[in-house]
Structure 1
Amino acid sequence: MSAPRTSYAHLLTKPNPKHVASLLKFFENGRSQRGTGGFGVEIEHLPVHNADDTAVSYYEPNGIETLLRRIAPYYDKDREYWENGHLVGLGREGIAVSLEPGGQVECSLGILRQPSDLHALYRAFRRDVDPVLDDLGFRLVNYGYQPKSSYADVKVNPKDRYDAMTAYLGRVGQFGPCMMRCSASTQVSIDFVDERDAIDKMRLGTVIGPILAWYFRNTPYFEGRENPWPLLRQRMWDFLDFQRTNVIPGLFDPRFGWEDYAVDVLSTPLMFADLTHTPEAEGLSGKELHHPAFYENAADVYPDRELNPYEINHVISTHFNDVRLKNFIELRHWDSLPILRAERLTEIIGSLFYDPKNRDRLESYFDGIREEDVFEAKWNLQAHGRDATPYGQPLEFWHAFLGLEGLLADEPGDPKHPDVFQA
C-alpha cells in the first residue's frame, strides 16, 4: 500500500479578489488622470566625503540628516517626512527629496512635459543643496556604486522598512546588501493611455532597456575596486531575488494584461509588511508596523477589503522588475547619471515611446519577441561587453536603430572624462 500523498494546499494563499480589483482600479485611474506625453525622472546620488571619497552616513555629525535639516526651509513644511524622530524626506512643487537605504539622496523631478524641463528643475535642486554641501564637507556624486566604501561600511538610514528589508535581502541572492547600501540609479517614468498601451510600453521598455543600459553605463567601481562587470546594476538585480526582479513573468504572452500583473505582485511574498497606513493596525509599534514577511503575500498581511493607494504602492514597491507598473510606467535600467546624460536619456525615451513613427518601427521589429530572447540579450551583453550582439545585432546597429547619435562611443570608466563622470 503506497503512502498517502501530502497536500500543501493549506500552505498556499491565493490573491484576494478584492485586492486584485483594487490594483486594476489603481492602474485605470493612472490612465484617466495622467494622459500621455509626460515624464518623471528620479536621480539617486551617492554622498561621499570630499577628503577621501568614502561614504557619508545619515547619522554622522554633518551627515545626511544635517543636510536635510539645513535645506528643509526651501521645502514645504507640510511635505516633510519624519520617522522615529528623524527627518527622512522633503517635498515642494516639482521636486521631492528622499533617501534610499544607504543614505543615497534621491531627487524626484516631475511631471515634466519636455525633457528640457529636467535641467531647470534639477538646477533649482542643486542651487539649494550645493552651498550646504560645501559647508558640510561632502558632495553628491553620480555613479552606479560607491567609489570607495564597501556595503559593510555603510549604515542603513532610520526607516523601519529598511531594517525589515535588510533581514530579507541579507539572506537571499548575491547582492542584496550591496544594492541597498551602495548602489544608485536613474529612473525614467512615462505615461500610458490605456491597458494595451501600458503593456506594449512595458514590453518595449523591457526589450530595449538592457541596450540603453550599455550606452548609459556609469559604474567604474565596485566594493572599492575596479568594477568587473560590464553592467553591474543589471548583474546585481538579476542575482538579487528572481521572484521579484528581472523580466515580469508572462509579459510577452499575447494574452498578458493588467490582471496578470496584479496577480503576480499580489502572489509573491511581500519581503516585509508596511502597515503604517492600514487603519486596522492602529496601535501597533514601529517594528510591528514594518515587519518581515518572508512567506506572507498581500492576502496574508492586509484585511479582506480593497487596498488603499498607500498599500498598493507598497505591494508594487516590493517588486524590482526591469520595468514596473504603478499608475505610470517606471523604467529602471540605468545607473545614476550626471544631469546632461540624464536629460539625453529622457530625450531618447521620449523619442522612442511617444513618437508614433518610432514606436511603430520598434514594435514591428520586435514583433514575436520572447521572454527568453530578453534573457539571452542581457547575458550576451554581460558576457561580451562591447563585442555583444543582443538580439543578433552588433552594438553599432543598435546605436543607429535607437537614435543614439551624440552618445560617447568610448568605454566609460575614466574619471577624467567630464561627460561620463560629473559630480
Structure 2
Amino acid sequence: MNPPRVSYAHLGAKVNDKHLASLLRFFQSGAKPEKDDGYGVEIEHLPVRNGSDRAVSYAEPDGVETLLERLRPYYDTDKEFVEDGHLLGLSRSGISLSLEPGGQFETSIGVLHTPEELLDVYGQFRNEVAPILDELGFRLVNYGYQPVTGFADITLNPKRRYAVMDEYLGHVGSYGPCMMRASASTQVSIDYDGEADAIAKMRVGTALGPIISLFFRNSPYFEGERNPYPLLRQYIWDKTDAQRTGITPGLFDRRFGWEDYARDVLSTPMMFVDLTHTPEAKGLSEDEQEFPAFERNAADIYPDRELNDYEVSHLLSTHFNDVRLKNFVELRHWDSLPIERAELLAETVKSIFYEDDNFARWKSFAEGLNITDVELAKADLQARGMGARPFGRSMEQWQSELGLSDTRPNIPGDPVHPDVFQR
C-alpha cells in the first residue's frame, strides 16, 4: 500500500481548478511524441566598458540601449519588444535578443540539431555586433558574474517587472539583487515526449546539473574580488527565494507529475502581475495591468476561467528552479560561457538526454535518488569543489562517465584552482 500522497503546494493557498487545467494543457502542448532531438541555447553576456571593465548600464551614453538601437536593422520590425518607449528586445528567425535586469545581453538561439548550427547562428550575431561594440567602446564578455562592478552600482533596466522583482527578492532572500544585476548564465532547453519523459529529464537534470556545472564553472569574480565559491551561481540562486528556486519540491517522489508542478506554481505568490494579455483587463491603465502581488497568487488575480498561453507563460516565468518546466525542459545551472565551451556543454546535454542508451542509464540512476541525496551532493560540491564525491563518486569518475575529457576553464580566478588567479 502506498503512503498518502503529499501535497507540495504552499500551505493554505488556493488553486483554481481551471487554472490548473490550463497549465496541464500547456505542458501537454509541448510534448513531441515523434523524436526530434531539438534543443535551444541561451547565452547571457555581461556588458563591460573597455579599459576599466566596469559594467555598462542600459541608459548611459553609448550604452546597452544604444547597442540595441544600432542592431535594429538586422532584426524583424514586427518582433521588437518595446516598453514605455524603451527598446528592450529584438528577434528574427533563429535568434532573439533580450535584456536581463542589470543590462545582461541575452542571445536565445534555436531550435538547433547540430553544434554547427549553434556556431553559425551565434557567429553571425557576433559578426554583426562586433563593429558596433568597437564604436561604442564596450564588450560583451562571458563570465558568470560581473568582473569589477558590485551589484549596488548597477542600475536596473526600465522594465516594470524588474522593479517589482527587485523589491520582492530583496526582502525574501539574501542574494536576489546580486542575481538580478550582476550574474549571467548559459541555459539549454530540451524536448520531451510526454509527462513521464519530462519528469524523468527534470530529475536527471536536477541531479547531474551541479556536477556538470563544476566542470564548466566560469565565475572568477564576485563583487569585484576573487570568487571564493566553487559554484557561485548555485550559491546565489539557492539563497534568492526559497519558494521558487532550488530543487523542485517533490520532484524525486515517485508519484510526482505535472499536476504537482502546476500546483506549486499556482500556489506561490505571483510577485508581479501582468494582465496585458488578459481580455478582462482591456482598457485598464498600465498601473492596473501590471503591479506587485507579494501575497496573492493566481487564484486571487486571474478570472475564473482557463488561462491563455501568455498568462500561463508569465506564471511559469516567475519560478526559477534548478530545472524549470515550461512547454519544454529548461536546464538552468550554468555560468555564462564563451561559445566554444557553450557548444561543448550543449553536446554534453545532448549526449545525456538524447542518446537513448545513455539516457536510460541516467534515468535509472535518478530514480534511485531522493531530495536529500541531491541536496547533499550540491552541498558537497559547494564545500569541496573538485575534492567532492557527489553520490559517492569522485570528480574524476564523473568526468569519465559524462564523457568530458578536459573541461578545466582557462580563466583568471578559478576558485577550485586558485593558482591561476591573476588580475
- TM-score normalized with structure 2 length: 0.93
Specify whether residues 97 and 58 from structure 1 end up closer, same or farther in structure 2 by C-alpha distance, changes over 3 A only.
same
User: Once the 2 structures are TM-superposed, how far is the Cα of residue 22 of structure 1 from its aligned partner?
Assistant: 0.6
Partner of 1:222: 222
Q: Note if contact 2:35-2:193 (Cα within 8 Å) is conserved in structure 1.
A: yes
Partner of 2:394: 394
- Letter in structure 2 aligned against 1:109: I
Query: Separation in 1 of the partners of 2:159 and 2:35?
Result: 34
Q: Note if contact 2:45-2:106 (Cα within 8 Å) is conserved in structure 1.
A: yes
User: Once the 2 structures are TM-superposed, how far is the Cα of residue 273 of structure 1 from its aligned partner?
Assistant: 1.1
Correspondences of 1:17-416 after superposition (within 5 Å)? 17-32=17-32, 35-408=35-408, 413=413
User: Once the 2 structures are TM-superposed, how far is the Cα of residue 403 of structure 1 from its aligned partner?
Assistant: 1.1
Query: Separation in 2 of the partners of 1:316 and 1:288?
Result: 21
Query: Separation in 2 of the partners of 1:156 and 1:70?
Result: 21
Query: Separation in 1 of the partners of 2:406 and 2:227?
Result: 25
User: Once the 2 structures are TM-superposed, how far is the Cα of residue 411 of structure 1 from its aligned partner?
Assistant: 8.2
Query: Separation in 1 of the partners of 2:186 and 2:75?
Result: 22
Q: Note if contact 2:271-2:292 (Cα within 8 Å) is conserved in structure 1.
A: yes
| SS of structure 2 residue aligned to 1:148 | coil
- Letter in structure 2 aligned against 1:60: E
| SS of structure 1 residue aligned to 2:111 | strand
| SS of structure 2 residue aligned to 1:116 | helix
1:220-273 Cα shifts (integer Å, max 9, x gaps): 101111111110100001011111001111111111111111111111111111
Query: Separation in 1 of the partners of 2:283 and 2:81?
Result: 20
Query: Separation in 1 of the partners of 2:366 and 2:414?
Result: 34
Specify whether residues 403 and 32 from structure 1 end up closer, same or farther in structure 2 by C-alpha distance, changes over 3 A only.
closer
User: Once the 2 structures are TM-superposed, how far is the Cα of residue 114 of structure 1 from its aligned partner?
Assistant: 1.5
User: Once the 2 structures are TM-superposed, how far is the Cα of residue 276 of structure 1 from its aligned partner?
Assistant: 1.5
Query: Separation in 2 of the partners of 1:409 and 1:282?
Result: 51
Specify whether residues 236 and 414 from structure 1 end up closer, same or farther in structure 2 by C-alpha distance, changes over 3 A only.
closer
Query: Separation in 1 of the partners of 2:352 and 2:410?
Result: 23
Q: Note if contact 1:39-1:115 (Cα within 8 Å) is conserved in structure 2.
A: no
Query: Separation in 2 of the partners of 1:364 and 1:77?
Result: 47
Specify whether residues 155 and 409 from structure 1 end up closer, same or farther in structure 2 by C-alpha distance, changes over 3 A only.
closer
User: Once the 2 structures are TM-superposed, how far is the Cα of residue 385 of structure 1 from its aligned partner?
Assistant: 1.2
Query: Separation in 2 of the partners of 1:31 and 1:135?
Result: 45
Query: Separation in 2 of the partners of 1:182 and 1:289?
Result: 29
Identical aligned residues as a percent? 62
Q: Note if contact 1:39-1:114 (Cα within 8 Å) is conserved in structure 2.
A: no
| SS of structure 1 residue aligned to 2:30 | helix
Query: Separation in 1 of the partners of 2:413 and 2:200?
Result: 34
| SS of structure 1 residue aligned to 2:108 | strand
1:185-212 Cα shifts (integer Å, max 9, x gaps): 0000000011111110010000000000
User: Once the 2 structures are TM-superposed, how far is the Cα of residue 329 of structure 1 from its aligned partner?
Assistant: 0.4
- Letter in structure 2 aligned against 1:289: Q
Stretch deviating more after TM superposition (294-303 or 30-39): 30-39
User: Once the 2 structures are TM-superposed, how far is the Cα of residue 332 of structure 1 from its aligned partner?
Assistant: 0.1
- Letter in structure 1 aligned against 2:75: Y
Specify whether residues 409 and 284 from structure 1 end up closer, same or farther in structure 2 by C-alpha distance, changes over 3 A only.
closer
Q: Note if contact 1:36-1:192 (Cα within 8 Å) is conserved in structure 2.
A: no
Q: Note if contact 1:24-1:262 (Cα within 8 Å) is conserved in structure 2.
A: yes
Q: Provide the alpha-carbon RMSD of the alignment.
A: 1.9
Query: Separation in 2 of the partners of 1:66 and 1:410?
Result: 32
| SS of structure 2 residue aligned to 1:96 | strand
- Letter in structure 2 aligned against 1:131: P
Query: Separation in 2 of the partners of 1:72 and 1:287?
Result: 29
Specify whether residues 215 and 111 from structure 1 end up closer, same or farther in structure 2 by C-alpha distance, changes over 3 A only.
same
User: Once the 2 structures are TM-superposed, how far is the Cα of residue 414 of structure 1 from its aligned partner?
Assistant: 5.9
Q: Note if contact 1:13-1:300 (Cα within 8 Å) is conserved in structure 2.
A: no
User: Once the 2 structures are TM-superposed, how far is the Cα of residue 377 of structure 1 from its aligned partner?
Assistant: 0.3
| SS of structure 1 residue aligned to 2:51 | coil
- Letter in structure 2 aligned against 1:328: F
Q: Any stretches of 5+ residues in structure 2 without a counterpart?
A: 1-10
Query: Separation in 1 of the partners of 2:373 and 2:150?
Result: 34
| SS of structure 1 residue aligned to 2:382 | helix
Q: Any stretches of 5+ residues in structure 1 without a counterpart?
A: 1-10
Specify whether residues 34 and 60 from structure 1 end up closer, same or farther in structure 2 by C-alpha distance, changes over 3 A only.
farther
| SS of structure 2 residue aligned to 1:111 | strand
What is the number of residues matched between the two proteins? 408
User: Once the 2 structures are TM-superposed, how far is the Cα of residue 328 of structure 1 from its aligned partner?
Assistant: 0.5
Q: Note if contact 1:164-1:272 (Cα within 8 Å) is conserved in structure 2.
A: yes
Query: Separation in 2 of the partners of 1:157 and 1:53?
Result: 19
Query: Separation in 2 of the partners of 1:280 and 1:352?
Result: 44
User: Once the 2 structures are TM-superposed, how far is the Cα of residue 321 of structure 1 from its aligned partner?
Assistant: 0.3
> Does residue 14 in structure 1 map to residue 14 in structure 2?
yes
User: Once the 2 structures are TM-superposed, how far is the Cα of residue 13 of structure 1 from its aligned partner?
Assistant: 3.9
Specify whether residues 247 and 34 from structure 1 end up closer, same or farther in structure 2 by C-alpha distance, changes over 3 A only.
farther
- Letter in structure 1 aligned against 2:265: V
